[in-house]
Structure 1
Amino acid sequence: MAKKIAFIYFLIGILWISSSDTLLDIIAAFLGLNPSIIYWIGIFKGFFYVGITSLILYFYLRKSFRKEADQRIAYQRLFEENPIPMWISSKKEFRFLAVNQAAINKYGYSREEFLKMTIMDIRSASEIERLNNYFQKVSADTPDDFIWKHQTKSGKEFFVRISVMETVFEGTASRFASSTDVDEIIKTQQANAELNTQLIAYKNRLENILSSVSDIIWSCEIDSFKINYINDACTSVYGYTPDEFLTNSDLWFSTIIDEDKAIIGENYKRLLKEGHSESEYRIRHKDGSIRVIYDRNVLVRNQEGLPDSINGVSSDITKAKELQEKIIKDEKNMHALINNTEDLIWLVNKDMQLVVGNDPYLKRIEKITGQKPKQGDYVVYKEKDYALWNRFKVHFDRALAGEKAHFEDSTNFPNEGERIIEINLTPVTDQKGEVTDISCFVRNITDRHLNSRKIKLQNDSLNEIAWLQSHTVRAPLANIIGLVQLINHDDLNDQNNQKILKFLEEESFKLDEIIHKIVQKTKQVPGVSLQKKPTSEL
């Protein structure tokens, strides 16, 4: 600006001198002025030029100085009153040369304290090392906008964005810096970054979990049924990979058995109406085998409340269905087995309350009490038959302790008389080995006891007959054999033969009596008949 003013002043001076001298010569020649007048007019012309230009320069410079002063004051106010902390520091010593009020308020130091400090004093040790590295590498291409961590007088650290511009302050090479508090932004970014890392880790864990489960987890669009997500379980259930489902929106529906496609339509209507649905249908695996699928679906709505997508879980229940059918079949067979017997079989809980019983048991109890037993009924009433309850309770407690109990008892049934029964109590345990129920088995052993008594009587009679045969029969038989040997066969008229014959007759009568007695005993043996069989049966 100074050069420009000097050049303009020089140019106007040259023009004034040359033009004014030429004009003066013309006027002097025209008026015939003498040289002395012309001299004084020339002097006055010079003074006039100097005076006029001095006034012009004075007013111009005064205006410029005022403008500069106003600008300086404006810049000073812009610096001092700016809400953003600002300072000027020496480029060489890093000493604070000026700070604004916002910096004083932010950092907690007074202006006097700031002017005794350097920019290192508002940083932690780690940041000072970083700042030194920055100044060692700084160049014309180095960005002047960095994120730093500063600390206040109280030691509180916070993130700031520092913008730097080189300048000259009071003749000293300096740096002008503004400090924008970005602590919340940086911490939010750090929190977001950490959260994003956690979300990525969570997503990976979720993907691993979803890939490891045997159920198919999927999501599709509401209108086109285009699969948006499906886990790896689809490969084992359907035989098709997730990519095949994602690229072919018709693949899933094409796997459904034709007879079951109507189920899907009904399930879709129910889903739109109720927001959730369950269905069971068959699909054809890629290898041609038939699988049974159990679907659980949930309708997802958008912000406007309109149906947007369907999320679902599909389970392959083929083996479960086969097992269920086997259980039903086994249960029918078991019912047929336990009901096709005269034995009474039932299950009670630890309080002697009925859980379940076979048909013979239910019919027997109904016949005795006149009421059909139901679940929860007590199988033995203490008030009705204390003696029976007490006998049953002893063995029932043994079963509760985990011991199998076996005993026999006798009881009177209406219109049937006394019956002897065999009772077996077996504890039923859970997976922990704790007794939960008692299995009861009762069999009528009255006939068996009667048969045992008959056999005992028969054995006693046979033993007596055997004793008669082995002891009583032997004496007269031995006598007869001895007497026969004494007979004189050479002289039948021998008088001793007459005596011997008499003795033989006596012993024969004794033998006959014994045989008669044996026959009578034999007739008393149960199940033994002395009737002569026809010749044809011999």
Structure 2
Amino acid sequence: MKSGRFKVPLIYIAIGILWIALSDSAILWISQHIDHRLLRFLIFGKGVFLVLCTAVVLFLLIDNERKKLDNNNRQYRKFYEDNPNPIWFYDPITFRFTSVNDAAVAYYGYTRAEFLSMTIMDIRPAEDSEKVKDSYLKMSEDFHESGVWRHLKKDGSLFYVHITSHKTIQNNKETVMVMANDTTDKYLYEQRLQEINQELTAQKAEVDRNYLRLENTLNSITDSFVTINRSWIITKANLNFYTVTGLTEDVAGKSIDDVFPDSSKSAFRQLAEKAMNDNIAGNIEDYSPILNKWLRSSVFPTDEGIAIYFSDITAVKEKDIQLKLALERYDLASQATGDVIYDLDLVNHTLAFNTQIGVLLDISGTDGTDTLGWWRSVIHPEDIAVFSANQERRIAARDKYWLAEYRIMTNGIDYKHISDHGYLIFDEDDKPVRLIGAIKDIDLLKRSTEQLKRTGEILNKINNPVIISNAEGIVIWVNPAFSAVTGYMEHEVMGRDHAGLLYNLKTNKIIAQQLLRAVAAKESFSAELLNYDKYNREYWVSLNLYPIFDAQGRFECYISVQNDITEHKEREAVIGIQNEKLKAVSWLNSHEIRKPVASILALAQLMKSAENEEEKSELLELLFRCAVELDDIIMEINAEASGHIRVK
């Protein structure tokens, strides 16, 4: 269309220019050979001929272009009207339909007249209106692909269409041509694919999380874990696998024979091959010369091969061996110690004792003592439930070591306390089959403990401070009376040195040294000692220290029983002061008073024999002085007696 507009004028111009150029040259040449009248006729004929020729050419060219245009219009109408996809034109200002094809009428259910009374908003959900306007504003002059939109049919059903549009001119007015392609099935299919993809993504994330949890679980278990495929290639191993084996390089992807050479003939390898080939799980405890360890292993068949759990039981095995040796030695030692050794068959409930059972139970014969039922019959009724529960709990926990204290009947009347130590033996199925143990008579110890407990109660109730200390003089216990006297609470003195806690500068160093020598010699000691309480106040105690020994003569501790004698010491001090005063008064009586008294007696005798008054007056003056001196001495005696000694 665009090239047709310029084609006809260009042809016309080209022919005109060519005709003018050629005709003028021809006329110029002819004019030299004809007259002027004929020349004017030729010039006029030239113009007429040009007009006629150009008219015919123009008619033919225009008719050809018209036919092309008509053909294009027919093709365009055919494309528009007969297109199976809905096509319409709308006014971009009012968004009103200006034309729709038959496919749009058939597909949407509206008549052509109904379409022409509607806008393009009426075939969309109301919430998409603003999006339609925004899409138009973004539309370029050329072809524009708007994407997938939701449309509504006349019956209200919703479907999805892919919209393509472009701006055009219709009846000299700008319009927009739109073609809609129904993509409902494709859109819903893509949506479903997207949902499936999201579900798969979520499932993969869950699988990844589960795998991570499994990885963490495998790394957190105390057992070593490794998986091997059917080609005997290691596919996975947890962290504890490397800890037990001592390997540092990653073993995943390596052959088991490369990782553990010379393992093909081991008992464990035979168990693994049985699980791999026969699909049979198994357990084994075996010594590994490669790792130089005892291992407890469990092998389980899997779809890919086998999974192996194993743990290092070297320490347990060594303890078992040591325990068995100890039991053998203990059996010999029991002959000297008097312990009862027994062997309990947990499957048949039968018992076997050594000869010390008769001594323990104070019975003459041992007939009928070979069953578990009999043994339970001699246990104190109050202890039987605890005994049974303790034993069942140890068995359920697969604890190989058994320990219990309970009472049994002796001589058919009395009960005594015993300590029962045993070792549980499990079979290859991890079921208890045997209990080997030793029974010790601890009745005397129990009674001593009860006696000590009663003694402790007594010590807590007496009013005398009591201190229990170890061989180094470190306090390990004090009674409430100690706290009442010293002000120290028990937690304040525990672990402290006895001497450093209570002694001070005025404490008698000689007595303190004597006390230390007695402690070093583990001898009893008694003394009176000046101590200091928590607030640095002085107080006197009468100290009695006793070393305590056990039944075998081994030293255990010191017990110091103290008596507060502070008031007694204060009374002694007062009496001492009074005695000193009495000594001073006695000395004054025996020495100082005699001098003025003797002088007074002598002067009195002289006065009797005086011959004149002058002599008597002189003697009387001397007698007065002696009386004053005697009065001073008497006053000094009174002051001494009342505690105020005057200094001459």
TM-score scaled by length of structure 1: 0.48
TM-score scaled by length of structure 2: 0.40
Greater RCO, CA 8 A, separation 6+: 1
